[in-house]
Amino acid sequence: MRTIYRSRGFTLIELLVALGVMALMAVMGWRALAGMQQAMDSNREHADAVLALDAGLSQWTTDLDALTELPQTRTLEWDGRTLRLTRRAAAGDSAGVQVVAWTRAEREGRAQWLRWQSTPVRTREEWTSAWAAADAWVQGAGADSANGVRTREVRIAALDQWQLYFYRGGAWSNPLSSAGSNAAGAEPAANVPDGVRLVLTVSQPHPLAGAVTRDWARANTGGTP
C-alpha cells in the first residue's frame, strides 16, 4: 500500500498572528524613526538659536569696534532703553558711516533683542535723518509699511531684559549717571567710555537661557575694564 504524505501549511489564525506581529513591528519602527527625527529637529533648532545669539554678540562687538567720532554728531547714546551709535560703514571709510541702534522690543507678542542699521551716510544732514530714523524705529514707526524702518531690523534672540554699564574712571557704572553724560543721557562724541558691559537675560527655552555677559574695551585706553 502506498502512503501519501501531505505538507501542513499555515492556518488562518497563524497568518493573522504573523500579520499582527509584523504590523506591531512596523508601528514601533515608525515611532523610533519619528523620535529620531524629532530629536534631530530639536538639536538643529538649539544649534541655530546658539549660533544666532553668538552672531548677535559678535555684531555687537564689531559695531563698538567701528565707533566713529565726527564733529557735531553723537557717537554713542543710551537712554535706558536703546543704544544708538555712529560707526564706520561696513564697506570702509570711503562708504561713509552708518547709524546703528540696539534695543529690546516686542515682536509678535514676545520681547526680542533687535538690531537696526541705516544705509551709509556721508553728510551731516544724512546723519541727522538716519539718527531720527533710528529713533522712529524704536518708537514703532513703519511697522505696517513694506518700506518702513522695520525692514532694516534683525531679530536676534528673545530677551527677558538687558542692561548696560559703562567703564569710566576705573569703575563700572550706570551709563545715565556716568560722568560726562549730559542731562538727556546723550554721550558727547569725544566721551566714548573706556568699556561697555552688556548683560542679557535670555528667555526660556533658549539653550543659553539666563544671564549672558559680554564686555568690550576701547582700544588704546589707559583703563583696564
- Would you put residue 188 in left (φ > 0), alpha (ψ -120 to 50) or beta? beta
Whole-Å CA distances, 78 to 43, 44, 75, 207: 36, 35, 10, 29
Quote the cell numbers at residue 44. Answer: 538643529
pLDDT cut 90: percent of the chain above it: 52
Q: Which residues contact 55 (CB under 8 A, 6 or more apart)?
A: 156
Q: How far apart are CA 147 and CA 158, in angstroms?
A: 25
Write down the pTM of the prediction.
0.75
Report the C-alpha gap between 186 and 54 in whole angstroms. 28
The pLDDT assigned to 3 comes to 55
pLDDT at residue 92, as a whole number: 59
Report strand pairing: 186-187 vs 82-88: unpaired
Q: Which residues of the chain have pLDDT under 50?
A: 145-147, 178-190, 222-223
pLDDT at 148: 63
pLDDT at 2: 56
- pLDDT (tens digit per residue) in 185-204: 444 434 699 999 999 999 99
User: Which of 145, 152, 142 has its CA nearest to residue 120?
Assistant: 152
Q: How far apart are CA 223 and CA 225, in angstroms?
A: 6
Contact 156, 53 (CB under 8 A): yes
Query: Can you tell me the distance from the alpha carbon of 105 to that of 137, in angstroms, rounded to the nearest whole number?
Result: 10
Give the per-residue pLDDT at 41: 66
DSSP state of 190: T
Q: What is the pLDDT of residue 51?
A: 93
According to the model, what pLDDT value does residue 17 have?
Answer: 78
Residue 6, Cβ neighbours under 10 Å: how many?
Answer: 5
